[in-house]
Amino acid sequence: MLIDILISAFLVISGIFGLVGSFGLIKLPDPMMRLHAPTKATTLGVGGALIASMLYFYFVVGNFSFHELMITLFLFLTAPITGHFIAKTHLHLMHKPADLPPTGTDRPWASYESDGERQSFEEAAKTGDA
């Protein structure tokens, strides 16, 4: 009984966060802000469902399953990388380097550095070493 309540609670939490994350996609005004909704609100949404599934298999079915832990691990590895790619694509399509804060170093943000600039920096570094 208690475990049923716990499992249901996790499922409800997961549903709420999944819904909020999806709602954020509609509500927020620009693509960079929309990126925040799925990278975060959904983590807890999926996480809640996975915890509920682990509890169910351990207490109700009676065998322990590691698959949920693996899904969590893979999600944590892939979510930032996907977010990074979407952000970079967005930078290329919609922004100019002037919109962004300065890097504070000699070289520009990696997305905006041309091959020629990179080569000249690398050659300068080589002659500096020699």
Q: Kindly list the residues in this chain that would bind other proteins in the complex (CB under 8 A).
A: 17, 20-21, 23-24, 27-30, 32-33, 35-37, 39-41, 43-44, 65-67, 69-70, 73, 76-77, 79-81, 83-84, 87-88, 90-91, 99-111, 113, 117-118, 121
Tell me whether residue 3 or residue 70 sits nearer to other proteins (CB atom): 70
Residue 1 beta carbon to other proteins: minimum distance, rounded to whole angstroms: 26
Q: What is the DSSP-derived secondary structure letter of residue 105?
A: S
Residue 62 beta carbon to other proteins: minimum distance, rounded to whole angstroms: 14
Tell me whether residue 6 or residue 91 sits nearer to other proteins (CB atom): 91
Tell me whether residue 6 or residue 44 sits nearer to other proteins (CB atom): 44
Give the whole-angstrom CA distance, residue 8 versus residue 13.
9
| Size of the chain in residues | 130
- 10 Å CB burial of residue 76 (0-12, 13-18, 19+) is exposed
Amino acid at position 69, single letter: L
Q: How far is CA 30 from the centre of its chain?
A: 17
Residue 70 beta carbon to other proteins: minimum distance, rounded to whole angstroms: 5
Residue 17 beta carbon to other proteins: minimum distance, rounded to whole angstroms: 6
Kindly list the distances between the CA atom of residue 119 and the CA atoms of 57, 115, 123, 129, in Å, as whole numbers in the listed order: 56, 6, 6, 15
Tell me whether residue 113 or residue 123 sits nearer to other proteins (CB atom): 113
